[in-house]
């Protein structure tokens, strides 16, 4: 007990030291970080009673995961209440819902108080996890301070616009800022969670955008770290050899670094060995079809790239929920046989219930992850039931019943979201042009080889066993280490995610050269995280275990190559931060610094709009058929006011007709916007203004450039000029016209 007290005292001292270092390191950003961290700390404490019962096999009883489960479930409750128009999406109501969740957890704490008697023994592990999380979060907040501004080159504008609109909306679903009069037709729960946390922590969207990226980046280290650590603890639980306690930590650190910083062997081959002259940190993601010009281009992004690219997209935000799901499945795999025996315990398991809710959150955050993780869930639960159940009929029936229960819970939890969502990409086609084998090898050979080596060694041990003739393979599997079984399942699923887009793809609007780009992207983004977990575990496991020396040399060689891939994140971080040169960035910058620097006239107008125009008023601004990845929609993005049409290709993706073409409404809107800006027919223009319920017309530099016949005199006569920037020094004036 005295030793525990000393450990806790040292950890508290470390926590204080981390705060002091963070204060001097982050300067003005420290307050924003502290508000975010504090909000998550409170949510984590509130949801910890339920989490600790569910993730009781974890050394810290799932402390860090309680933050994510609490955030996701609280957000889900308010999402549905707001959708039903019962509660507005306000800061107060966020607190009320969290308060209700707190009461539920308090009831659990009281009813299950016997299980919390020894919680003091876990405080040291909880503090250690919190310190690791806090250090990772501070580091990434510091990194983001060098790259705070968003731009229109990728999908920053889309995600910023979503969050901005959510922050300024009372109810769900929210209006689409780029198709006024319509609601967002996309899986945007992740952006909603960002807005939810922004309200809870009392931070503005300008700050929360970067804080959320830093948070997710920190989670890409901490969550894999915790999963790896608990895999390692189970591996050595019967091992009394010297230094065995280091194994879980080594697996944990390697797994965390691999996901947070690691890339593929593209970096090792092209950057380190071949010294590629035009190497750029995005090159490994744009490799298939890009490097050699094949008519089949695909994207293979990974967490470490997304940490630096700064795009709060669906697949990136779902990282925290995906790793939480993997933790829940690891808990299920490691659970004792008696914990899940009997029909009642199997079907009323809180773990199964939470898995169902979390799957709904994943579906609403990134629809692609719903089928992916449903398969992983089925595989883990099915294998675990095979191990623990006595007869085949029981194995089958319990698995089907549990999967049915999970899907029912998921469907109920996400019902309102699903009702309002139209998915245009639903047709599956066979792949006719496949990725060249050498490119697949560059990207995936290392983890696949590790997984095959692991399976090969386990099979070799089975056949080498003198009792193999007497023991069936199924009995052998039942007696295998549960960590090994879990890793085999993840490994096979990861390989499947790489193979699947080589066989089939989901049809969308993109042309022949990019027909399977999105399928490869979404599937392999999940695959690489699974690969990193498997590879880290397998390499450390066999270096520690007794195997032939030649095998150990092979494993060590693979480990060295694997460690070189961590250089990807280090090199990329140095590039995007300009080697952390403070003179290259203003510490006071935020997500809106891009628009302030590049389009200062528009920035001034945007600030005026925020203060003087209601957020629901439609403001017409320029758009064109190639407007995606351009700043054309800067007014709607930064004010949260809807416009008639924006980012045409994105709206096309979200609302394509059965032939994957733009809808007639979109084509009409595009034409009508040009008519309003260029027509000489005042009556026709007034009819269009009434048709789209336009309250204001914005005329700035981009509008003057796009519409060569822009009829400024007629536009000025349509109503009152409520804002203008017009003087001798301005080549192009800016007007905001309030139409009658």
Question: Tens digits of per-residue pLDDT, 85-141?
Answer: 999 999 999 999 999 999 999 999 998 877 777 777 778 889 999 999 999 999 999
What's the pLDDT band for 731 if we cut at 50, 70, 90?
low
What's the pLDDT band for 467 if we cut at 50, 70, 90?
low
Cβ-based neighbours of 541, under 8 Å, separated by 6 or more: 235, 247, 251, 454
Tokens standing for residue 165: 């609109």
563, burial (CB in 10 Å: exposed 0-12, middle 13-18, buried 19+): middle
How many Å apart are CA 649 and CA 521, to the nearest integer? 18
Min mean pLDDT across 10-19, 209-218, 352-361, 631-640 is at 10-19
Q: Judge whether 510 lies within some domain.
A: no
Min mean pLDDT across 74-78, 207-211, 473-477, 718-722 is at 473-477
Percent of the chain's residues with pLDDT above 90: 68
Q: Max Cα separation, the chain? A: 95
- Give ∠ CA 584-585-590 in degrees, rounded to 5: 160
- In the chain the first and final C-alpha atoms are separated, in Å, by 76
Pairing mode, if any, of strands 734-739 and 719-725?
antiparallel
Q: Give CA separation, 664 vs 170, 416, 632, 646, 699, in Å.
A: 30, 27, 22, 15, 26
Q: Residue 620 in 3-state DSSP?
A: strand
What's the pLDDT band for 18 if we cut at 50, 70, 90?
confident
How many Å apart are CA 139 and CA 321, to the nearest integer? 22
CB 167 within 8 A of CB 194: no
Q: Judge whether 539 lies within some domain.
A: no
Min mean pLDDT across 184-198, 280-294, 444-458 is at 280-294
- Estimate the crossing angle of helix 314-334 against helix 517-544, to 10 degrees: 40
pTM equals 0.94
Residue 640, domain extent: 599-739
Total domains, the chain:
1
* pLDDT score of 346 more than 70: no
Q: Judge whether 238 lies within some domain.
A: no
How many Å apart are CA 12 and CA 15, to the nearest integer? 5
User: Residues for the chain: how many in total?
Assistant: 740
Cβ-based neighbours of 510, under 8 Å, separated by 6 or more: 517, 518
The pLDDT of residue 341 is 52
How many Å apart are CA 740 and CA 734, to the nearest integer? 19
Q: Judge whether 50 lies within some domain.
A: no
Higher pLDDT, 538 or 425: 538
How many Å apart are CA 100 and CA 79, to the nearest integer? 14
* pLDDT score of 551 more than 80: yes
C-beta contacts of 722-726 below 8 A and 24+ residues apart: 722/612, 722/696, 723/605, 723/608, 723/609, 723/612, 725/601, 725/604, 725/605
pLDDT digits over 370-407, tens only?
Answer: 999 999 999 999 999 888 777 777 778 889 999 999 99
Mean pLDDT of the 675-685 span? 94
Higher pLDDT, 134 or 9: 134
The pLDDT of residue 239 is 72
pLDDT digits over 616-626, tens only?
Answer: 999 999 998 88
Tokens standing for residue 221: 């280290």
241, burial (CB in 10 Å: exposed 0-12, middle 13-18, buried 19+): exposed
The pLDDT of residue 167 is 95
Q: Judge whether 191 lies within some domain.
A: no
Mean pLDDT score of the chain, rounded to an integer?
A: 90
Q: Judge whether 499 lies within some domain.
A: no
Q: Judge whether 671 lies within some domain.
A: yes
Q: Judge whether 694 lies within some domain.
A: yes
Alpha helix positions (H), 510-633:
517-544, 549-564, 567-576, 593-598, 600-612
* pLDDT score of 671 more than 50: yes
The pLDDT of residue 729 is 55
The pLDDT of residue 338 is 47
* pLDDT score of 217 more than 90: yes
Mean pLDDT of the 688-702 span? 95
Tokens standing for residue 409: 């819970």
């Amino acid at each position: 007990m005295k030793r525990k007290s000393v450990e806790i005292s040292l950890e508290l001292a470390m926590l204080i030291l981390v705060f002091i270092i963070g204060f001097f390191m982050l300067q003005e950003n420290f307050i924003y970080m502290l508000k975010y961290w504090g909000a998550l700390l409170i949510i984590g404490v509130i949801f910890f009673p339920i989490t600790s019962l569910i993730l009781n096999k974890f050394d810290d009883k799932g402390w860090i995961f309680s933050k994510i489960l609490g955030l996701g479930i609280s957000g889900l409750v308010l999402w549905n209440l707001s959708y039903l128009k019962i509660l507005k999406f306000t800061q107060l109501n966020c607190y009320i819902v969290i308060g209700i969740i707190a009461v539920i957890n308090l009831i659990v704490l009281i009813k299950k108080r016997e299980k919390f008697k020894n919680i003091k023994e876990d405080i040291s592990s909880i503090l250690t996890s919190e310190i690791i999380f806090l250090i990772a979060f501070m580091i990434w907040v510091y990194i983001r301070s060098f790259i705070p501004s968003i731009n229109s080159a990728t999908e920053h504008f889309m995600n910023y616009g979503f969050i901005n609109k959510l922050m300024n909306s009372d109810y769900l679903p929210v209006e689409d800022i780029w198709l006024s009069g319509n609601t967002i037709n996309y899986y945007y729960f992740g952006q909603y969670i960002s807005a939810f946390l922004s309200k809870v922590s009392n931070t503005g969207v300008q700050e929360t955008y970067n804080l959320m990226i830093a948070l997710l980046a920190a989670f890409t280290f901490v969550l894999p770290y915790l999963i790896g650590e608990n895999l390692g603890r189970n591996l050595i639980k019967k091992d009394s050899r010297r230094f065995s306690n280091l194994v879980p930590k080594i697996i944990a650190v390697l797994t965390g670094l691999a996901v947070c910083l690691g890339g593929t062997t593209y970096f090792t081959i092209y950057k380190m060995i071949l010294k590629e002259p035009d190497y750029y940190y995005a090159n490994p993601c744009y490799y298939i079809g890009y490097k050699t010009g094949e008519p089949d281009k695909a994207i293979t992004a990974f967490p470490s790239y997304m940490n630096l690219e700064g795009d709060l997209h669906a697949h990136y935000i779902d990282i925290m929920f995906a790793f939480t799901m993997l933790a829940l499945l690891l808990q299920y795999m490691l659970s004792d046989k008696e914990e899940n025996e009997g029909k009642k315990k199997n079907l009323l398991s809180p773990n199964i219930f939470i898995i169902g809710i979390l799957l709904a959150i994943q579906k609403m955050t990134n629809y692609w992850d719903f089928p992916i993780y449903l398969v992983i869930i089925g595989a883990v639960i099915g294998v675990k039931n095979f191990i623990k159940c006595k007869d085949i009929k029981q194995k089958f029936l319990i698995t089907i019943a549990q999967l049915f229960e999970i899907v029912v819970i998921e469907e109920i939890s996400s019902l309102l979201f699903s009702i309002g969502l139209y998915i245009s990409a639903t047709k599956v086609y066979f792949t006719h042009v496949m990725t060249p084998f050498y490119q697949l090898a560059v990207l995936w050979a290392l983890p696949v080889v590790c997984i095959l080596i692991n399976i090969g060694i386990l099979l070799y041990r089975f056949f080498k066993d003198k009792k193999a003739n007497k023991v069936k393979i199924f009995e052998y599997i039942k007696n295998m280490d549960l960590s090994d079984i879990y890793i085999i399942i993840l490994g096979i699923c990861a390989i499947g995610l790489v193979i699947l887009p080589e066989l089939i793809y989901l049809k969308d609007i993109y042309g022949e050269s990019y027909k399977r780009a999105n399928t490869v992207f979404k599937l392999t983004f999940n695959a690489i995280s699974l690969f990193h977990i498997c590879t880290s575990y397998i390499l450390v496991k066999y270096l520690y275990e007794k195997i032939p020396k030649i095998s150990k040399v092979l494993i060590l060689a693979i480990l060295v190559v694997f460690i070189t891939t961590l250089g990807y994140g280090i090199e990329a971080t140095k590039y995007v931060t300009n080697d952390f040169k403070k003179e290259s960035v203003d510490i006071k910058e935020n997500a809106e610094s891009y628009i302030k620097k590049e389009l200062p006239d528009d920035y001034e107008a945007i600030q005026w709009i925020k203060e003087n125009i209601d957020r629901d008023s439609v403001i017409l601004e320029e758009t064109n058929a190639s407007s995606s990845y351009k700043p054309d929609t800067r007014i709607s993005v930064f004010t949260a006011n809807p416009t008639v049409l924006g980012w045409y290709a994105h709206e096309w993706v979200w609302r394509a007709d059965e032939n994957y073409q733009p809808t007639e409404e979109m084509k009409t809107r595009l034409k009508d916007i040009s008519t309003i800006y260029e027509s000489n027919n005042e009556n026709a223009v007034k009819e269009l203004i009434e048709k789209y319920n336009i309250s204001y017309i914005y005329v700035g530099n981009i509008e003057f450039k796009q519409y060569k016949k822009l009829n400024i005199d007629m536009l000025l006569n349509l109503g009152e000029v409520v804002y203008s920037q017009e003087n001798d020094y301005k080549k192009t004036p800016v007007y905001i016209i309030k139409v009658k």
